[in-house]
Amino acid sequence: MKLRSLVALLVMLPTALPSASAQEREATRTPTLAEYTSGSPSQLRPTSLRALQWLGDDYIYIQERNLILGTPGAKKAERTLLTQDELLALIGEGTKGNTAKYFSPFQVVGRDQRHLLITFSGKHYVLDPRTKQLTTTFEQDTKREKTFDLAPTLEASAIIKDHNIYVTTSRGEEVQVTTDGSPTLVYGSSVHQNEFGIHGGLFWSPDGSQLAFYRMDQSMVAPYPIVHTNTRKATRQDLYYPMAGMPIHHVTVGVYNRATGKTIYLNTGLPKEKYLTNITWSPEGKTIYIAEVNRQQNRMELKSYSAETGEPLQTLFVEENEKYIEPQHPLYFIPNRPNEFIWQTRRDGFSHLYRYTTSGKLLGQITKGDFEVISFLGFADGGKTLLYTSTEQSPINRVAYRISIDGKGKKLLTPQPGWHIASASKSGKYLLDTFESLHDVRENRLVSTATGRDQRLYQSDNPEASYITPEIILGTIKADDGKTDLHYRLIKPTNFDPTKKYPTIVYVYNGPHAQLVQNRFHAGSLGWDLYMATQGYVLFTIDGRGSDARGTAFEQVIHRHLGLHEMADQMRGVDFLKSLPYVDTNRIGVYGWSYGGFMTTNLMLTHPETFKVGVAGGAVMDWSRYEAMYGERYMDTPQENPEGYKATNLALRAKDLRGRLLLIHGTIDPVVLWQHTQLFVEACVKADTYPDYMIYPEHEHNVRGADRVHLNGVITRFFKDHL
């Protein structure tokens, strides 16, 4: 058997941390709720090299008040590149910030990735840390500036303020690019509810001479009132939130030419209700590529446009899917081959890399197999080699590979089973790899992409080495279809006694773009479930069909009837729990947030004989009131799928509530509107059923910061009181 196959087989088998009893001989206490809460100031978590990233082909990180530089292969691998005092003197702020505990936060910028952008005391500074020279300075309007986007050539920046785009230079020149921006006419920001891999709205050309930007007209979308109560009189904020089946915003792409001072708009044509995604400049800056998705989200056309005239040049190719299609990645142009690019798509059922010419000719599929390419990391060998991470070792692992652009010579660079988060140096000769697994606390490594040899840069201590901690088990069971493997995480109570029976909580999400079970430290748990294990509970999580990183067929089973197959798979998980002699089958609860809140409520209503207690946070209760981009992708429109929407409107089933269900919602949630749980409560009142309720004023879709400890306390008390 090949080593890779053997490793994959071992990962598929149930695995566990060293037994709790071995740890308890030296442990003195269990972690507190705050110490287990993600984001808490006192959270116990592995450490890493602070701000570790590439500076060209060198790596840098913060070590207290020093910026450290490392050169792969050098005799003296690391040295202090810049101190905080030197930085403050360089930017003329020697008397300010000199008591900071750490070196100032920074961003690596520029085409060569050799400069730092530091925002400090009302200004944006661009500097070369190697020569210790200040390159450019931009004034910051702290009250009005919403976005600052630096050109790759470093001498200009794009700024959003007062709803409009301004281009500024280091010489203090400022040009107002747009003049009619407003809350309903949005420039330079993310569009389409940040779906389809969209993370921003400003796109500099490679030479910094032109700026492409999104223009979103949302005047046809009825405003939705978000009410803020932290003023003497409550104030209203209008949210332009297109719901499924209702009019959606119209988006176009503008191009501002710095030399001429003129702006043109790409002629993307009709219909106006479509999605313009994954905007990419050609290397020479004359062409813009857009992946255009129809509103039905079953057809994508990759088109090119002239950046000078705005007119369409050609449709390179079309992708279609009978259920839905979802492009997530821009074009990756191959170095030294300006007419060739890499395209990432799920065209064959799994996310893979393909090589194309700019005329639309397919040169070949580079990666193949029943696994997902998770991220494209970059090029090596002057463009002859690709670097990427994938699930090829196991769906619960992430590993990095190199492969030739012709699909040959594939090499596994990070063979250790577990979770590798990698980034490539400018030349692609090295990776910075942050690695962890169920058995390995986090470490930072330097990996040669030519040989795969690695060097450990940093090893985190186990933050729980002196604590009593629960045993975590990873394994698989079959889905409701009887053939698909589903991965689970099971956390046993501390001081586990196999002769006892324990209350059990199912933590659930099971929706697209999320994978909860991971071969990493704590197996992907965020901490609350670990704390509940210290309180005498079994915690169980399973990634059923519909969740992420398993391919199209695995995910698309949810299409047009959200919750149906997901619940069936969760119930197979319950069957597994019932087979365990230590699970108290009369005391099973369920908890989830967002899609998981929808699943929690649905499970409570559908299987009251199984679930005694539930907690649903930020839950979708009626998919017709969810946003159009996400909702229509998975459900089509309410007009096209009335039965599907009716079946997933949980308010219509409020009469079926039997157990104790706690609903939690942030009052200014812009993702799942507070209206969802309010209407469900209203339906329960009319149906004479009795949910419990908790709100978090002025919190959005989740409760973050110090208040998260309070949230976890509320959830803990509810299960302790009722399960």
Residues 686, 687, 688, 692: what is their CA dihedral angle, to the nearest 10 degrees? -90
Does residue 669 carry a catalytic annotation? yes
Which of 369, 427, 435, 426 is CA-nearest to residue 399?
435
Terminus-to-terminus CA distance in the chain, angstroms?
A: 47
Instruction: Describe the strand order of the beta sheet including 107-109 as a list of residue ranges.
Output: 107-109, 115-120, 123-128, 133-139
pLDDT in tens, 448-470: 999 999 999 999 999 999 999 99
pLDDT of amino acid 466: 93
Catalytic residue (one of 437, 669, 676, 699): 669
Does residue 359 carry a catalytic annotation? no
> Could you give the count of Cα atoms lying within 13 Å of 387 in the half-sphere of its Cβ?
28
pLDDT of amino acid 6: 33
> Could you give the count of Cα atoms lying within 13 Å of 403 in the half-sphere of its Cβ?
23
Length, in residues, of the chain: 723
User: Cis before residue 18, ω within 30 degrees of 0?
Assistant: no
pLDDT of amino acid 21: 42
Which of 363, 181, 322, 339 is CA-nearest to residue 254?
181
Instruction: Tell which wins on pLDDT, 12 or 530.
Output: 530
Contact 543, 368 (CB under 8 A): no
pLDDT of amino acid 95: 62
Domain 146-218+249-330 in the same topology as domain 14-44+463-722:
no
CA 2/CA 342 separation, integer angstroms: 30
Does residue 170 carry a catalytic annotation? no
CA 600/CA 576 separation, integer angstroms: 18
User: Quick check: 295 pLDDT over 70?
Assistant: yes
pLDDT in tens, 383-406: 999 999 999 999 999 999 999 999
- Report DSSP letters for 703-723, one per residue: --TTHHHHHHHHHHHHHHHH-
CA 629/CA 620 separation, integer angstroms: 15
Three-state secondary structure of 629-698: HHHHHHHCCCCCCHHHHHHCCHHHHHHHCCCEEEEEEECCCCCCCCHHHHHHHHHHHHHCCCCEEEEECC
CA 170/CA 149 separation, integer angstroms: 13
The confidence band for 26, taking pLDDT boundaries of 50, 70 and 90, is: low
Which residues touch 717 (CB under 8 Å, ≥6 apart)?
Answer: none
Q: What is the DSSP letter of 383?
A: G
Rounded to the nearest 5 percent, the helix, strand and coil shares of the chain are 20, 35, 45
Query: Can you read off the two tokens belonging to residue 252?
Result: 């176009």
Which of 384, 339, 393, 391 is CA-nearest to residue 366?
384
Q: What is the mean pLDDT of the segment spanning 314-337?
A: 97
CA 253/CA 216 separation, integer angstroms: 9
Question: How does 255-276 read in b/e, with b if 16+ C-beta sit within 10 Å?
Answer: bbebeeeebbebebeeeebbbb
CA 582/CA 383 separation, integer angstroms: 56
CA 425/CA 573 separation, integer angstroms: 43
pLDDT in tens, 236-282: 999 999 999 999 999 999 999 999 999 999 999 999 999 999 999 99
Return the percentage of the chain with pLDDT > 70, whole number: 96
- Report DSSP letters for 453-512, one per residue: -EEEEEE---TTTTB----EEEEEEE-TTSS-EEEEEEEPPTT--TTS-EEEEEE---ST
Q: What is the mean pLDDT of the chain?
A: 94
What CATH code is assigned to 146-218+249-330? 2.140.10.30
pLDDT in tens, 69-91: 999 988 888 999 999 999 999 99
User: Quick check: 666 pLDDT over 70?
Assistant: yes
Contact 171, 226 (CB under 8 A): no
- Report DSSP letters for 510-569, one per residue: -STT-----SSGGGG--SHHHHHHHTT-EEEEE--TTSSSS-HHHHHTTTTSTTHHHHHH
Q: What is the mean pLDDT of the segment spanning 90-117?
A: 87
Contact 147, 139 (CB under 8 A): no
Where exactly are the structural domains of the chain? Answer: 14-44+463-722, 146-218+249-330
Catalytic residue (one of 513, 701, 710, 722): 701
pLDDT of amino acid 94: 66
Return the amino acid letter for 301.
Answer: E
User: Quick check: 529 pLDDT over 60?
Assistant: yes
Instruction: Tell which wins on pLDDT, 26 or 655.
Output: 655
CB-count exposure of residue 584 (10 Å: 0-12, 13-18, 19+): middle
Locus of tokens 């085409």: 111
CATH fold of 14-44+463-722 reads: Rossmann fold (3.40.50)
SS3 of residue 68 by DSSP: strand
- Report DSSP letters for 285-323, one per residue: SSEEEEEEEETTSSEEEEEEEETTT--EEEEEEEEE-SS
pLDDT of amino acid 76: 83
Q: What is the mean pLDDT of the segment spanning 297-305?
A: 98
Question: How does 332-362 read in b/e, with b if 16+ C-beta sit within 10 Å?
Answer: bbbbebeebbbbbbbbeebbbbbbbebeeee
